[in-house]
A and B are shown apart, each in its own frame.
Chain A
């Protein structure tokens, strides 16, 4: 009987300790290091960007950057002591590191998002990355470019490979930014695509496609399959400067349409859009950029991050995908 009483007393004590610990964990506190991983390996700290409320303390090009909390930050000192960023980490590695507790905040691709374990927090921005096909100068026949634009089944890619992240788009800028993106057609029309290239010689119908981001290789493969239905022979090749078509991503760094359009056009190698002051003119400018099918917008994608359970105070990103680590704190060591 004594022993039973002793066991029950131990259980009650343990429950009280856990309850006390849980109450302490929900409260912000200073200190700790946030371990962040990213695919990018920018050449300079400026390109990487400095999280708000922190100052760069260590920079190892292409590998690691450490930011320390700025005591004199405008919004007050961040809770975190340091933010350590590991660069050039593949999405797969980042996901594994998150699972193993080696990283606190990682980027998530669609596949990683699908495999994400329980208890992980996901932060998603608005669609701020344009995924598009960009033709090189060798593909001179507009029919071939248009045929590829009509062959791509964006819906299947969006629902399966992108796990419905972001949105399907035929426009350079996202719907949330312009309000007219839905006017740009994004639907596939394989019979028309086939008709466009029906009379062309095999050489003209053969293209090479390079995905700049290895994680987009599956999308490139799918585009190749779609292209085959239209009579185009698209071979997916490793990223190189001489591919006929490139599957690229362009970030939308501004929340105002004219600047965003100019930035995206420059990123895709398109002409500078004409100056415009009204939504009608912005639409016309964007329409003119897309004429000739030099660039084929496919999707508007958000930035998605996964955070470990010990990270609190999120979300750690803004709707434009910028880091907001000043409001975060971490539990435990």
Chain B
């Protein structure tokens, strides 16, 4: 990944993260504000509900007291025959606009029931259990009706005549009309669940218009209130259709849970606000990212161009142009880096010159040492021979001729040796430029192997040629290449004094050809491998140390590459790749 791309990414991520953070914080604040507002509204509705509940309760108490004070109630209380009044409750309830009214005798037997006329005579034990109804206000109660149960706000008053007592229990059902009386802000609604059966009954969940069709969805919330007996908060639905419900328990006269008041608040406003904020954030983020792209282009133009120039210069240095420099612009970090780079290349050039000079001196020294060593060997017999000849001339003149003959023969032989040595040095010094031709490497290997066949056989070496039939012809100087191969083969022969296997292999490469020469000889150490191609370096007791230097020189002239792999005791492989 380029620095420019990285910089672009960093800018984009930074902008997106910043916008995201802002959006998150703003959304969070908005949600908090919305929820706070919602809590206020819910509290207002709960207060309104309580107030309405209380108002209705007081109204019912007042009405029931009115019924208790009526002449009819007095007649019933006085009458010894309650059965004459079985229909009175209905009439009284109708007159006083009560949904429920029961006139109950002192023993708890219903004299007359408006809501369930057929229940006369049945006992209402709950009425007789309370010692003082007069001071009690209205309360929630589950009332049995012919077609089921109902939730009602009920008040009870008593009427006493001598030893007789009459309970007047009247009330109004808590139904949709009650809910409809509540004034609700927009986006809110109130539901009432009448907890009249142990099991959840969707039909008992009503709003101002009656039973709601999706009542079953609120079941978990209602069950939770039934279980915990405290206010529970829950959200139903998703997205704009989501609705938060505050579910409050409504307890009856015996602290029994008779209903659940559900105050629903639509989250549509919040969701729409959040969506608007999200859209704005996305817009800002996109704009920011676009600006980041522009900025990054501008910044990279300012930052990466000098860096790129530095990289190019470093590449030139790597390619061998050690004198490459960079234009210094500015005094910032990049400018300092460019200055340091220029200093470094300058130092490199100077050091290379010093090194070349040192190497040249060392080479001359090595050459002198080699020359001295090489020339010293033939010179010593020359000196001995001449001295022998002088001594024979002085002490044994009769044998001089014979000594002379032998001496001159030796001198000629040693001179020839000297000539040969000088010739080799001369050859290395005068390495000719390759005469490039199209060469079939397989054929060249075959011919070379035939030339050294006798030599290999004599050294007890088994030769193996593994030639790749797919090998394409290469551009090379056949003579120099033959010399290279021969040199490597002879080196291999020298490495296998006890005999072994010589393998010459050709391999077709996608961009050229490979020539490998492997032996099973003594092998080389890593240090030896490193110095192997140095001129005049040899691991053998004879030789000039120029053979592999010449090989490397030829390969280099062919734009090729030579490498060596060796393991001590297992053998060595020379690998030449030609383009």
Binding site for B on A (CB under 8 A): 111, 114, 153, 156, 159-161, 163, 218, 221-222, 224-225
Contacts and interface: CB of A to CB of B under 8 A. Distances in A.
Nearest to A160: B83
Contacts of B118: 218, 221-222, 224-225
A80 B146 CA distance: 49
Most buried by A among B86, B87, B116, B146: B86
B120 A114 contact: no
A160 B86 contact: yes
Given A153-B121, A156-B121, A160-B121, A225 B116 contact: yes
Nearest to A153: B121
Contacts of A156: 120-121
27 contacts: A111-B87, A114-B84, A153-B121, A156-B120, A156-B121, A159-B83, A160-B83, A160-B86, A160-B120, A160-B121, A161-B86, A163-B83, A163-B84, A218-B117, A218-B118, A221-B117, A221-B118, A221-B146, A222-B118, A222-B120, A224-B118, A224-B146, A225-B116, A225-B118, A225-B119, A225-B122, A225-B146
Nearest to A223: B118
Contacts of B120: 156, 160, 222
Interface in B56-115: 83-84, 86-87
Contacts of B122: 225
A186 to B, nearest CB: 17
A57 to B, nearest CB: 40
9 residue pairs, one from A and one from B, having the closest CB atoms: A221-B118, A160-B83, A222-B118, A156-B121, A225-B118, A160-B86, A159-B83, A160-B120, A225-B119
B69 to A, nearest CB: 24
Contacts of A159: 83
Most buried by A among B83, B116, B118, B122: B118
A220 B404 CA distance: 168
A159 B119 CA distance: 14
A160 B121 CA distance: 9
A115 to B, nearest CB: 9
A140 B87 CA distance: 36
B396 to A, nearest CB: 154
A111 B86 CA distance: 9
Given A160-B86, A163-B84, A225-B122, 16 more contacts: A114-B84, A153-B121, A156-B121, A159-B83, A160-B83, A160-B120, A160-B121, A163-B83, A218-B117, A221-B146, A222-B118, A222-B120, A224-B118, A225-B116, A225-B118, A225-B146
A111 B120 CA distance: 15
Contacts, number: 27
Nearest to A229: B122
Contacts of B146: 221, 224-225
Interface SS, A side: helix
A163 B82 CA distance: 11
A221 B146 CA distance: 9
A111 B91 CA distance: 14
B109 to A, nearest CB: 10
Nearest to B116: A225
Most buried by B among A111, A153, A221: A221
A111 B83 CA distance: 11
Nearest to B109: A156
A214 to B, nearest CB: 15
A160 B109 CA distance: 13
A216 B121 CA distance: 18
A276 to B, nearest CB: 38
A62 to B, nearest CB: 30
A225 B121 CA distance: 11
Contacts of B121: 153, 156, 160
Interface in B136-151: 146
Nearest to B87: A111
Nearest to A163: B83
A171 B40 CA distance: 70
A225 B110 CA distance: 13
A225 B117 CA distance: 10
A221 B120 CA distance: 11
A159 B121 CA distance: 10
A166 to B, nearest CB: 15
Contacts of A160: 83, 86, 120-121
Nearest to B83: A160
Contacts of A221: 117-118, 146
A222 to B, nearest CB: 4
Contacts of A114: 84
A161 B83 CA distance: 8
Contacts of A225: 116, 118-119, 122, 146
B156 to A, nearest CB: 22
B277 to A, nearest CB: 56
Contacts of A153: 121
Nearest to B121: A156
Nearest to B84: A114
A161 B87 CA distance: 9
B325 to A, nearest CB: 103
A210 to B, nearest CB: 15
Most buried by B among A218, A221, A225: A225
A156 B122 CA distance: 10
Contacts of B116: 225
Interface string B486-521: 000000000000000000000000000000000000
Nearest to B81: A159
A153 B118 CA distance: 12
Contacts of B87: 111
A156 B117 CA distance: 13
Nearest to B111: A160
A159 B109 CA distance: 14
A82 B244 CA distance: 78
B81 to A, nearest CB: 9
Most buried by B among A114, A160, A218, A224: A160
A161 B120 CA distance: 10
B148 to A, nearest CB: 12
B89 to A, nearest CB: 13
A168 B120 CA distance: 18
A160 B87 CA distance: 10
Contacts of A163: 83-84
A294 B451 CA distance: 134
Contacts of B117: 218, 221
A114 B118 CA distance: 17
Contacts of B86: 160-161
A277 B441 CA distance: 146
A48 B330 CA distance: 131
A121 to B, nearest CB: 20
Contacts of B83: 159-160, 163
B103 to A, nearest CB: 13
A163 B87 CA distance: 12
A221 B113 CA distance: 13
A161 B119 CA distance: 11
A156 B83 CA distance: 9
A244 to B, nearest CB: 18
A325 B86 CA distance: 34
A111 B116 CA distance: 17
A156 B120 CA distance: 8
